[in-house]
Amino acid sequence: MALIFHLSSESKPLPELTTWVWDKALHAIEYGALGLLVCRALAGEGVPRGRAVLIAIVVASAYAASDEWHQAFVPLRSADVLDWVADTIGSTCGAAILPLLGGWPKYLRK
């Protein structure tokens, strides 16, 4: 989350992207990783799989919304609802990937 906040605070965090698709893909990948990590952390604390996935999606999506709001105050940046949508889709995929693939480590399986 600190890395996301840092990148959001930069006026130009990355070189100009050539297409709109790459921008949304980067958002989805970034928040996919966040969703995966939050889900894994919750599961490690004993939260049941389904609940861990749902909470991870809600937490990552809420963080994405706050991140977009934060960007509205950064010079040369703006808040974009489509970025939030890409973030939420990414966090959903990231949080859901482990249980869908049966990839929970043995110590997290319940």
**Band of pLDDT at residue 28, cut at 50, 70 and 90:** very high
Q: Say if CB 68 and CB 80 are below 8 A apart.
A: yes
Domain contains 81: yes
Per-residue pLDDT, 88? 97
The rounded distance, in Å, linking the Cα atoms of 52 and 21 is 29
CA atoms within 13 A on the CB side of 63: 22
Q: pLDDT digits over 45-102, tens only? A: 888 889 999 999 999 999 999 999 988 888 877 888 999 999 999 999 999 997 776 6
In the chain, the number of structural domains is 1
Domain contains 82: yes
Domain that holds residue 42: 25-108
Per-residue pLDDT, 43? 85
Per-residue pLDDT, 107? 56
